[in-house]
Amino acid sequence: MKLTNLKVIVVSLVGGAVAGTAGGLLYAWLGDKVAFHGIGTGLFIVGILALGVGLTGAAEPEQGWSSKRAEGRRSMASRLISEEAVEISSKAMAVWAVTVGLPLVVLSMVAFSLAV
């Protein structure tokens, strides 16, 4: 399976949206905020995390970040993905980051505009 497969992207988007919405509603309830404000906050955090993890993974060298060690120092995301049967390339990781992270950030901005 490839990371840029439509099924993987849709599952990532839906999972991110559900996690961001649930976390945002919990934040809104605990912080006595408007529901759309909480949803926007949750979606923004999940979107920025997806962008950060994806683009960091795309920029990571094959041997890891540290060239001083024999094994290298690889990120947790790279170690987890390397154990799965998923084809990963830097280009695919960047495409995944943009196609999952940016829509979540845009949805957060829509939620923020509804909160006013």
Question: For residue range 10-37, what is the model confidence (pLDDT) as tens digits?
Answer: 999 999 999 999 999 999 999 888 999 9
Cβ(99)–Cβ(75) below 8 Å? no
Question: For residue range 44-61, what is the model confidence (pLDDT) as tens digits?
Answer: 999 999 999 888 888 877
Question: For residue range 60-107, what is the model confidence (pLDDT) as tens digits?
Answer: 776 666 666 555 556 666 666 665 555 677 888 889 899 999 999 999
Q: Which residues of 38-68 are buried (b: 16+ CB within 10 A; e: fewer)?
A: bbbbbbbbbbeebbebbbebbebeeeeeeee
Residue type, 113: S
